[in-house]
Structure 1
């Protein structure tokens, strides 16, 4: 198997790409060496801040490494007799040999994305599958078919598909290929097929998990106990940040609307004050300019910080599910080992089953550990980038407002000197 090594300045580390078949590529995900994985695979396809060094790295290096590009755009509403729904255009461009064409264009609705996510979870129960946006927006923030809601969902669906396409294992999933290339009737046929691996696995270990309830896992590795503890704390912190950011946004929005009324009041006042007319108009103009700057700041906040915090809030639930599925696999192994110890079944048959389960647990552990390392690195980069952009926008906002008011004060000082005694000038 050939190895291509690319040295970058990113954290002073090396990234490795491995050739070979789909199967051999997948095995790398189960390797304990997390350095074999791209640390940026969870990141969105299109960077949000070209000025960032991290995003420059993506812009410059990713096009040479990627061979699958996916875009979700052009939402279209459909009013059927039974229901009303929205479809999105999914455009795929690829150079992979397993695809019959280099470009595909299909239309998919939200339910189709749900189907794909379910199939990915069935095929890869211990990999971290990226989250989808919720079916409905909670608390009545947006109407289901509101333009803002549709655009927010489109962006989230675009990010979901690109995270999947960038994943070293999920990108080769057969159901993903079907989703990207199949016509509507072909996709419907695939969706009617029976339950997959995840459903069968759930049925197999359900009794095992129930029998061990209350006692917990006896042989869970410390690394996965630490993961459980980390996810609990992470869920609390990221949810709190999400709530606080929305509360701050609401306060900023209230201030913005009040400030918008401030300018017109000064303009009206200037009409009745002959000596203060220009000054009052200047205050009104400065207020209007600050309002426009604040509007840009609020848009940046809602389009940068909110999606990042909300996405990782959804990741918390996904991580809990992945850890639970790993525990279920180990629970089945532990029950077989206990049965062998108590000689409750045929020894040879149990020994064979235990051997297979031991391999399955090791594979699941390695897969989750590698994906966990990738996810943590990506999360830290995404959250750092989001807060950095918020900080940059805040600085730009305050600098613009400061320059506006300083210019106004300078003009007022000059007018005072011109009207007063020249000897009083500094």
Structure 2
């Protein structure tokens, strides 16, 4: 079978898996993960299937490290993998590193989407107050049929590449032990590591979540509240831009359909007006070029604005989640302070009550009140004994929660400053790409119409025809 010039080879790997020996924690909604070793490593090449890779000829040597970093990562070259129970995509992860903790300087591994999800989950668990970059969303049930389409795979690959680059450039996340295993381990080592490093339930986080449903922060942080408001406004603005862009794209699609109706009308007209036939044909060609430029602009939308803005909306949501988590830490601390204050107040009241009872018992008739006083004294002593044990524990817990809150504030404050710089660079690139595509589109339209007016082989049209041409140009430009 002959291969088209725009197609390439995609590797299709067929494996059998042993699923029963791995725990349920390693499974998720996107299908089973790499749950066992390959029993058959044969590769079947299918020249008739286009490669999803946008870096078809890229070599490891082409991944150059900048002067400001000693770790570079690239995600490319998707590979379709066929198995008995499922089909999924493996992405190549290429790493160049110059750190002493790495034994080699270059690594090439293959990871699937669920492996990236595992890595992010481990980073979130290990660094709860750092802004761990977001991942591309899982496919929806409706979009599941297209999860192996070229557009979907390339979009996911590009977003995974952004995810890995953000981690590689992070001053803390890039040194994580789980990341090192993700970048360097062969399939068997990685599966074994994942099996031994299953996620544990964070009971402290669960208790904090329960606090948020019944308690509100009393001493709010102006600094973090201000940033939370900013993140909310930024999220709303980006979401609004996305909605407007989608509406404009729908109108552009209708516009392209209407432009297509010009061509047969102008050709039919040119056959009945020989003196104007050349001009009419040129106008028809200009309209076709305008429609083609509009179609290209529409096709480039996801690359220049659609996917980047959706990805950054998710990134802003990550920031908001971390800020909410920081508020949960403060809620836990304030709740512990209130509990400690309440226990101390209860202890003071009991001690005051004991002194009052002792004074009353000395002045009262011993035969009539001795039994009651003895019972009261015993009850108070038991409560005081419990409080004497509980209060030191609460003091220790409060100090621990205070330390955790202060550490969270410092870590988040530093990461927010770094995120602000990254946000500015990302949004600037997105807007510049969008502007360049708009310029390219309008330049193509101008060139198409200038070609009509500057053609010397066409007889100069009458003023009436000129006016008609102007109207048509205005209609096309609108």
Q: Which of the five TM-score ranges fits, normalised by the shorter chain?
A: 0.7 to 0.9
RMSD: 2.7
Matched-pair contact (CA < 8 Å) for 2:96–2:107: yes
Q: In terms of mean alpha carbon deviation, does 380-389 or 87-96 score higher? A: 380-389
Map of 1:188 onto structure 2: 191
Structure number, greater radius of gyration:
2
1:237 matched to which residue of 2? 237
Task: Quote the residue 1:354 is aligned against.
Answer: 398
Cα 1:131–1:277, aligned 2, differ >3 Å: closer, same or farther?
Answer: same
Partner of 1:316: 316
**Aligned-pair distance for 1:390?**
1.9
- The answer as to 2:160 corresponding to 1:157 is yes
Q: Work out whether residues 293 and 397 of structure 1, in 8 Å CA contact, stay in contact via their aligned partners in 2.
A: yes
Other-structure match for 2:266: 266
Name segments (4+ residues, structure 1) moved above 4 Å. 137-142, 194-197
Aligned to 1:296: 296
Deviations 1:46-80 (A, max 9, x none): xxxxxxxxxxxxxxx97111111111111111221
Provide the rounded CA distance (Å) in 1 between the counterparts of 2:269 and 2:81: 51
Is 1:401 paired with 2:445? yes
- Of stretches 79-88 and 311-320 in structure 1, the one that deviates more from structure 2 is 311-320
Aligned to 2:411: 367
Q: Considering Cα pairs closer than 8 Å and 6+ residues apart, tell me whether 1 or 2 has the greater RCO.
A: 1
Separation of aligned partners in 1, 2:264 and 2:184: 55
Give matches, 1:12-411, under 5 Å. Answer: 63-137=66-140, 140=143, 143-193=146-196, 196=199, 199-200=201-202, 203-211=203-211, 213-263=213-263, 265-267=265-267, 269-271=269-271, 273-343=273-343, 346-411=390-455
Q: What is the TM-score of this pair, normalised by structure 1? A: 0.76
Q: What CA distance in whole angstroms lies between the structure 1 residues aligned with 2:456 and 2:141? A: 50
Deviation at 1:186, TM superposition (A): 1.6
Q: For 2:100 and 2:85, locate their aligned partners in 1 and report how far apart those are by CA, in whole Å.
A: 41
Contact 1:123–1:196 (8 Å) recurs in 2: no
- Which residue does 2:374 correspond to in 1? none
SS of 2:300's equivalent in the other structure is helix
Shift, 1:272, TM fit:
5.0
1: CA distance between counterparts of 2:175 and 2:87?
33
Q: Which runs of 5+ in 2 are unaligned?
A: 1-63, 344-386, 463-478
Q: Which residue of 1 aligns with 2:472?
A: none
Q: Distance in 2 between matches of 1:225 and 1:139?
A: 38
Superimposed CA distance per residue, residues 358-410 of structure 1 (whole angstroms, 9 cap, x where no aligned partner): 22211111111121222233223322332233223222322332232123123
Q: Secondary structure at the match of 1:151?
A: helix
TM-score, reference length from structure 2: 0.68
Residue aligned with 2:274, SS: coil
Q: Would you say how many aligned residue pairs link Structure 1 and Structure 2? A: 356
Deviation at 1:185, TM superposition (A): 1.8
Structure 1 residue 287 displacement after superposition = 2.0
